[in-house]
Every structure is written in C-alpha cells, then in structure tokens.
Amino acid sequence: MTGLGLVTPVGNTVEESWAGLLAGRSGAGPITRFDPSRLSVRFACEVKGFDTLQYIDKKEAKRYDLFAQYAIGAAHQAVMQAKLAESAPDKNRVGVVMGSGIGGMQTFEDNCTAYALKGPDRVSPFFVPMFIPNMAGGLVSMRYGFKGPNFAPVSACASSAHAIGESYRMIMDGMADAMVTGGSEACVTGLTIAAFSNMKAMSSRNDDPTTASRPFDRDRDGFVLGDGGACLILESLEHAEKRGAEILGEVCGYGLSGDAYHMSAPAPEGRRIRTPPHFNSTTTLAGSRVASRSTSEGAEQ
C-alpha cells in the first residue's frame, strides 16, 4: 500500500479520522440530512462538514450522487499521497475497483418520487449514471486517466473488502501493476432506514446513538447505518520501488466465503469466517508481491 484516503463520520481526511478514533469519538448522531420524524430509527453515522468543492466543481457536484463524491474525495487523497497520477510509468496498467453496496440511493429515491408524482418526463437524464454503483470507479478512472481493470463489487457490507481483495489478486495475477481500490456509500436516506428498520436489522437506541453500535456485545440490538468513502493504492513491490513510492504497508492474503445461513444475520457459531481450504490467496502468482518493505520469507507473497 502506498496511498490512503478517508471520508468518514469522524473525519474527512486520514488524519482527522485517525484522531477521532484515538479520541474514542462516535460518528453516530441524530439524522440531519432530512427529517426523520416518521421513522422508528432516527440516527445514523453521517459524514459531517464534507466540502465536495475541494475535489470537483459545482457542475459536477450536481451530476454526481453523494456516494460518488465521497469516493472521489477519498481517491484523490490516496492518489496524491502515493503520487500515482504523475509517476505511474503506464496508466494502462493502473486499474480502479471501488465497491458500493447500493450506489446512488438518494438519486434512486428522488427519481422514483419524480416518476410517481410528476411523470416519466421528470426523471433526470443523469439518473442512471448517478445511481449505478460502478460509476464511482468510472469517475475516478476518468479523473486520472487510469485505463486498467475497472469494475465495482456489490456484496453488501463486504463490497469494499472484496474490492481490495480482488485488486490484490489482479496485481498478483499480473493483470495490473497498481490499483486504486476501496469503496463508498451514501445510503442514509429515508427509504433505506425504513427498510432496514422494518426487517429488524438496525439498532433502535434513539436515546443514546453514540453507544448503539456494539457488534460484540450481548445486548446488541442491530447495526448503525453509516456513510463514507475509503481508498487504498495497492501496487506490486517492483512497481512501487521503480517509481520511488513510499511504502506504507503490505497485503499478505485474501480469502472469501459464505456461511449459507441467513440473508442478514451471521451464523451464530461463526463458521466459514476463515478462508476455505480450497483457496489460498498467498500462493505466489506471476512472481509478484504487493508493496512492502519486508523481504522476510513469510512476507513474500
């Protein structure tokens, strides 16, 4: 890893987010983006004080859903830290994989309302490119001219983890030298919260939002919905060293599986959380390693 970018409910940069975590600050609070009074759950983890005009102009902001704006903000931070835009030897070998569980949910809601109340002529011509989850990665690739592999994993809460893992595998397979990867979400909307709340998946601690997210507590009553964006720059060790990039960390492996249990609840025994026996992502592929300072035998992947 040679670059990192974050837009989160506890900070709009890596430094701000890390400081918020160290301070034990919760990102949860009463919903401010719209009036939640009709909902049974009235809190979420919203991104606060994000200035999209740091990254795009007003015209673009009107044509990009918030999830794409968060992705662009996070990607810009990561690309700038890694100095990838100006020093990548071959942009045809730099890809973008940004995951999103649902894409432009507010855009979807707005256009469904317009269609139902005002008719088909009032549906925005930008509806589709604003809504589809792969548009975040598409916009990032166009911004920097990265022409390598480009797609969007859509696998609910695992979307960004799958994006990072698949980017790692593509570098190991020799399909790319570097990948801009991560994900973004902007699903704090009335329809989303109503849906998750009605299926009893969300915490309902309206009286104490900051302690509502308690994933390993016996009194857990559901998850807390949140927005944000995160991006990593992954590249092979050879590529990073060739362009003189500062190396921040290493990806040592990647596995994925399903517990075949329930649509939204994890298996109570925690089965299938470990990598399946038939898949070993740490096997050396194409003689390449993901960027790391370490050259010990155990770290060479």
CATH number of the domain bearing residue 15: 3.40.47.10
What was the pLDDT predicted at 257? Answer: 83
Report the predicted TM-score, pTM, of the whole model to 2 decimal places: 0.90
For residue 254, which amino acid is it? Y
Task: Tell me which residue range forms the domain holding 76.
Answer: 3-299
What was the pLDDT predicted at 186? Answer: 97
Q: How far apart are CA 197 and CA 190, in angstroms?
A: 10
What was the pLDDT predicted at 153? Answer: 96
Report residue 70's pLDDT band, with 50, 70 and 90 as the boundaries. very high
Q: What is the secondary structure of 212-225 as a DSSP string?
A: ---TT-TT---B--
Question: Cβ(80)–Cβ(134) under 8 Å?
Answer: no
Q: How far apart are CA 285 and CA 301, in angstroms?
A: 8
Beta bridge partners of 4: 232
Q: Where are the alpha helices (DSSP H) in the chain?
A: 14-22, 58-63, 66-82, 84-87, 105-118, 127-131, 135-144, 159-172, 190-198, 237-242
What was the pLDDT predicted at 287? Answer: 39
Is residue 280 exposed (0-12), middle (13-18) or buried (19+ Cβ within 10 Å)?
Answer: exposed
Indicate the number of domains in the chain: 1
